[in-house]
């Protein structure tokens, strides 16, 4: 029986690994499998479903069994090699930081891999994890093309005066500029809008990608105009363990007056800040919502406030606003947070439909609302597979 051509996609994040497998026939793709390993180092769990949603694997592990992302990636690799009847023609990877040189998907070789590794300090929670499965695959299957798809690429449409900092131009020329991230997620939503919400697809839309990492993107006619993240994935909204917008004077204070080293500051802003730092309870929004501890409520209040403020900023970048789309882990699954953020947007005429919101409908605003409110699940892996296929065909 002849084998079927397929593309495998690996999306390694800061604490999870998503993966999907797509059949390729006649230049078109069909999803075969979707999987996730999350809770790495805390509550590891692996789930795999087929295209119809039937659960094939749902297994929890002891913390000692999957203590880090490389272990999780190795488990995914073992599962992939066990698939029968498939001829893998490429592996597509999410790479968070493409720096100033990569604006389109690219096939990885050793030189490009090292160039991407040079950006690790700009995305230390993600870039090493993104590159680990590429290195592994290049060692065990050197013949198989490895395609990198970049989170920064979608935002390269910004004009230079929007992406620069008020610093000497020489620094911009070196690559010190605002890149924006979560671009694969925003690209999927922009592509999906004409199908699921055609009434706003060509309008002024803010997409709120709210998860462990969180950001917002301003879309005008499906094109990125501005984003809350900048040079690194630290800026903008508060996140699970990252602070979001931070006066650079705070960093100077910590180093000059508290005697903290650069590494200690890095550990603070990447691992000890955000929801975890504010609450001192958990970095997981689900834990905070379930807690009656005042510190949990404080952290949630801060998160909601900053989301509301950033909506105002991006609305100004768009010269007005027609709709807000919620996506990613918190955005898709937390009616309570969506409702709280909608309250912050009441001045824009936002009115949320409580029943539609609780049920997770696509449109969750009332008919009287002046601002459309939507929930659209993202699918970064689909975008990676599509871009991988296009890269292979040279288009």
The sign of the dihedral angle between the CA atoms of 249, 252, 257, 259 is positive
* Catalytic-labelled residue, pool 50, 68, 111, 151: 151
Query: Residue 302's Cα: distance from chain center in Å?
Result: 21
Task: Give the integer Cα–Cα distance in Å for 146 and 131.
Answer: 11
Provide the H-helix boundaries in the chain: 69-81, 110-117, 127-140, 160-163, 169-174, 183-196, 248-256, 262-267, 274-279, 285-290, 294-317, 328-333, 335-344, 354-359, 380-392
Query: Is 378 within 8 Å of 211 (Cβ atoms)?
Result: no
Q: What H or E segment, with its residue span, contains residue 210? A: strand 204-210
Side-by-side strand order, sheet with 86-95 = 55-60, 45-50, 28-38, 17-25, 4-12, 86-95, 146-150, 106-107
**Token pair of 164, please?**
């620069």
Task: Give the integer Cα–Cα distance in Å for 303 and 309.
Answer: 10
Query: Is 35 within 8 Å of 20 (Cβ atoms)?
Result: yes
**322 an active-site residue?**
no
CA triplet 148, 20, 195: central angle to 5 degrees? 90
Q: Which residues contact 135 (CB under 8 A, 6 or more apart)?
A: 113
Q: Which residues pair with 49 in a beta bridge?
A: 34, 55
The sign of the dihedral angle between the CA atoms of 160, 166, 170, 175 is negative
**Residues annotated as part of the active site:** 151
């Amino acid at each position: 029986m002849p084998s079927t051509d397929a593309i495998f996609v690996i999306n390694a994040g800061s604490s999870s690994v998503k993966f999907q497998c797509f059949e390729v026939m006649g230049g078109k793709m069909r999803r075969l499998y979707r999987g996730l390993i999350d809770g790495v180092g805390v509550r590891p769990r692996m789930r795999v479903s087929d295209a119809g949603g039937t659960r094939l694997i749902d297994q929890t592990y002891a913390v000692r069994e999957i203590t880090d992302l490389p272990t999780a990636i190795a488990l995914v690799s073992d599962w992939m090699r066990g698939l029968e009847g498939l001829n893998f023609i490429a592996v597509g990877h999410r790479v968070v930081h493409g720096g100033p040189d990569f604006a389109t998907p690219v096939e990885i070789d050793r030189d490009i891999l090292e160039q991407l590794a040079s950006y690790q300090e700009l995305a230390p929670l993600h870039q090493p994890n993104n590159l680990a499965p590429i290195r592994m695959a290049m060692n065990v299957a050197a013949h198989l093309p490895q395609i990198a798809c970049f989170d920064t690429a979608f935002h390269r449409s910004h004009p230079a005066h929007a992406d620069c900092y008020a610093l000497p131009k020489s620094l911009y020329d070196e690559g010190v500029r605002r890149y924006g991230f979560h671009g694969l997620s925003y690209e999927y939503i922009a592509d999906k809008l004409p199908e699921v919400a055609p009434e706003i697809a060509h309008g002024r839309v803010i997409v709120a990608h709210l998860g462990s990492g969180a950001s917002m993107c301003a879309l005008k006619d499906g094109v990125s105009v501005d984003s809350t993240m900048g040079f690194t994935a630290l800026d903008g909204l508060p996140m699970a363990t990252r602070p979001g917008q931070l006066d650079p004077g705070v960093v100077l204070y910590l180093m000059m007056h508290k005697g903290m080293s650069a590494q200690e500051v890095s550990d603070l802003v990447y691992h000890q800040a955000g929801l975890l730092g504010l609450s001192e309870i958990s970095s997981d929004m689900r834990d905070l919502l379930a807690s009656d501890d005042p510190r949990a409520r404080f952290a949630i209040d801060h998160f909601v406030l900053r989301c509301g403020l950033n909506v105002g900023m991006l609305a100004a970048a768009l010269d007005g606003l027609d709709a807000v789309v919620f996506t990613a882990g918190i955005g898709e699954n937390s009616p309570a947070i969506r409702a709280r953020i909608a309250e912050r947007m009441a001045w824009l005429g936002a009115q949320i439909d409580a029943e539609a919101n609780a049920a997770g409908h696509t449109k969750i605003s009332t008919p009287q609302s002046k601002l459309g409110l939507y929930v659209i699940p993202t699918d970064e892996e689909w975008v990676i597979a599509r871009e991988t296929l296009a890269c292979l065909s040279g288009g």
